[in-house]
Every structure is written in C-alpha cells, then in structure tokens.
Structure 1
Amino acid sequence: MDIQAIWLTAKLAFVTTLILMVVAVPMAWRLSRWQGAGKALVQAIIALPLVLPPTVLGFYLLIAFSPNNAFGQGWLALFGSPLAFTFEALVIGSVLYSLPFAVQPLHAGFTQLQPALLETAAMLNVPSTARWRYIILPAMLPHALIAAGLSFAHTIGEFGVVLMIGGNIPGETRVASIALFDHVEALDYTQAHQLAAVLLVVSLLLLIALYWRQGKGGAQWRAM
C-alpha cells in the first residue's frame, strides 16, 4: 500500500508541477510588468497559501467542489461524476496550494531581466517569439528550475488540503502523507518510520539539488 501511496504522490506532484509551470510563467511575467493599482492585492492572493492553514483552503475547496455549488455542478455536468474525493480534486487543490512556490521564483527572475536587452530587441524589430526563445527563456532557466523543484517538493508534503478534498481512498487519493498519518494512528511506528524516511530523503535530495543548481546558475550569471 505504501508503494501505491508513494507512486500516487509522485504522480500528483508531477502533474501539479507541469500545470503550474504552464500557468505560473505568464502570470509571473504579467506581474513583473504590472505597475498599476491592484498589484499588491493580486500578489497577496497568490501568496495566501504561504500563511493560510491548509485545512482552511481545503474546506473552501470542498464547498466549491460540492454539486450544490456552481463549480461542482459544472464539473458534474461536464464529466458525469462529482469532483470531490477524486484525484482531479487533489490536482486542483495542489495547484492552488503550491502556486506561490512557482510564481514567486519566476517573478523574481523576470524582474531581474536587464531591460536594455529587451529594449534593444524591440528596436531591432525582433519578433516576440524570438525574444522569448533567445533572451528571456535562457535567462529564466535557473529560476524555472527552482520554481519547478519547489512546487514538486511542496506538493509531496501536502496533508491538510488533500485530506479535506480527497479523503483517504486507496489508489485514488491516499497519498504518502495520508498513509503516514494512518500508520501513526494505528501505532504502526515501523511502517511510519519507513515512509517518513522516504519522504525525508526525497525532500532533502530535492532541496540539495535546487540549492546546488541555484549556486551554479548564480556563478555562471556573475561570470557573464
């Protein structure tokens, strides 16, 4: 069962990270170029999961996923089954819960772009696709790796959100954090130690890789 829970956790983290990178890149780009009123409010909403108890977010998502509400009704009409307590619900909750871990590193990277490079490219009438391919994306690669790594690692450690909207369904919503809780509740500390050790080692290795890549990228940037 723990192998199944670990596999489901890895699947959830991968899908969540993939969606976040698609969503967070244009969001962070627009935020980095936004100077008008309301920016602070949008940034605060994006960063809210950093300070909001996960169970609070999970509770409101559970209400939204209910067939008694518009979003839940629309999902039921479109797919023929309720959204709550499904893997898809975990994905939506994970995307919202890990959103700041993807947006903030990308936003920092976009704000550090040298305006002169983009201005010169615009003066030379370089197409926007070429600007992204040859100027923006190469400069953003270290930040994108950090965003993806943090999103993946943060999703692995989710508990409150996934418990509220996913419950504890083996093979569907029983991720590693839920399985660990089950072992502790059952006083099965041997299994709990084993699963906790796996999560600890994986999280530590991810963070080591991120810090190593960040230091290497920083050194390369300074060398340029």
Structure 2
Amino acid sequence: MNRAAIRVDKLSVSYGTAPAIREVTGVFEPGSLTAIAGPNGAGKSTLLKALMGEIATTGSVDLGVVRAPDIGYLPQASAIDRSFPITVADAVCLGAWKHIGVFGGLSMKGTVAMRQALQDVGLAGMESRPISDLSVGQFQRVLFARLLVQDARVIVLDEPFTAVDSRTIHDLTQIILRWKQDGRTVIAVLHDFDQIRSTFPQTLLLSHRVVAWGSTEDVLTENNLSKARALAEGWDVSTDQERRVA
C-alpha cells in the first residue's frame, strides 16, 4: 500500500501559454511538517491549488491512503470573503461538514468540539461575534479553529501568517506543532526563513521548478537560495497573467 500522504510526479501547471510550475516531483511523507519556500511569484500557491485539485494540471497527484475529506485547506486570507454575515461559531462549525454533511445539524458533540477549538486558539467566549468584526489575527485564529474541528489527517496552509501579529503567530505555531505530534501531515507556504528553520524540519524550495527538497538544513543554504532567485529572475514570462502567479 502506498503510505505517502501526497506524492507528485512531473506535476506542471500553465496559465494559458505561460508555465507557472514545471515537472514538480517528490513526496510529502505521512506525519511530515514541510514548508514550501521560494521567491515571490514562483508558483508556491499554484502548487497548493494543484494539490487540492482546484486547477488543471499535467502529471499526477497521488493522495495515497488519504481522501479529499481528510485534507484541511486554508487559502490565503485575501481569498476569503469576510463580508458574509456569519458568526465566529458558524465559521468554525463549517469544519464539521465531513461529519454532518452539507445540510446536517450540529450535534452536542460538535458544539463541544467548536467551543474547545475556540478555547485552543484563544477565542473562548467569542462564538456570537460576527467574523466581519474581527481583526486579521483573530480571523486567522478562527480559521485554525475550523481546521481543528475538521480533524483532517493532512493540513495545507497558504501563507497562514501574512499580516498577523507576533503573538498570534506564536499561538498558531503551537497548533501546528500539536498537529505534528498527532502524526498529521502539514504543508505550509511560508516566507520567514527563520520561522521555517525553527519549526519545519522539511522544506521544498520552489522557483517554478524544484530547487531542493529535503531537510530544511540542507535545503535553505545560500547556494540554493541564490539558485532560486536566479531561476525566478530568468523565468520566461510570456504573458502578464503569469506575473500574477503566487
């Protein structure tokens, strides 16, 4: 049986005629904690969307023994509409959809899980607050609480700490480390190399192609980072659309 949480083989994505990522091959092992790093516009968020099946690709993505409901996905905060009139409790309970179905009601057990998740992320007692009233850091805590309720085996995070205060980063990092202790697989796009080195044992350095993939110590070397920058600067940008690839 293939125990790989996620295996990719020659995975490529193009926007029109402009290539975004090309022939990415490798394995996110079960229980691993992997950062995806690289220059801006080098395809990191595109890779996550490809893993989640949100965009057309060539090559393959093999989830192994994992199934789609067992993957918790947190997109970039800028991609989430916070104007929708729901409360903090409603937003967190969306994480329970795989247990209750789209139209199912929340059980007492689900309510307890929601309240426990809010306590775990430091938002106890805020169930009735509209999400539109929250700060950026508070809203990110809500999204992590939703992932806790979802209870997924694989968690995929796209820039989870952008525009978030240092206290929130610390608290949410503890949640990530807890997931690691639980044996879950975590994949996160991050920009802070110091944070990656202190928290993530594995790193994929991506610059449209794989520059290096392995232990963080071996991957985040000055030589590899220079290669990533040079590859990004020399990438053939044939359309304005590719300039917007994250």
TM-score (norm 2): 0.30
User: Greater CA radius of gyration, 1 or 2?
Assistant: 1
Structure (1/2) with the larger helix percentage:
1
TM-score (norm 1): 0.32
Structure (1/2) with the larger strand percentage:
2
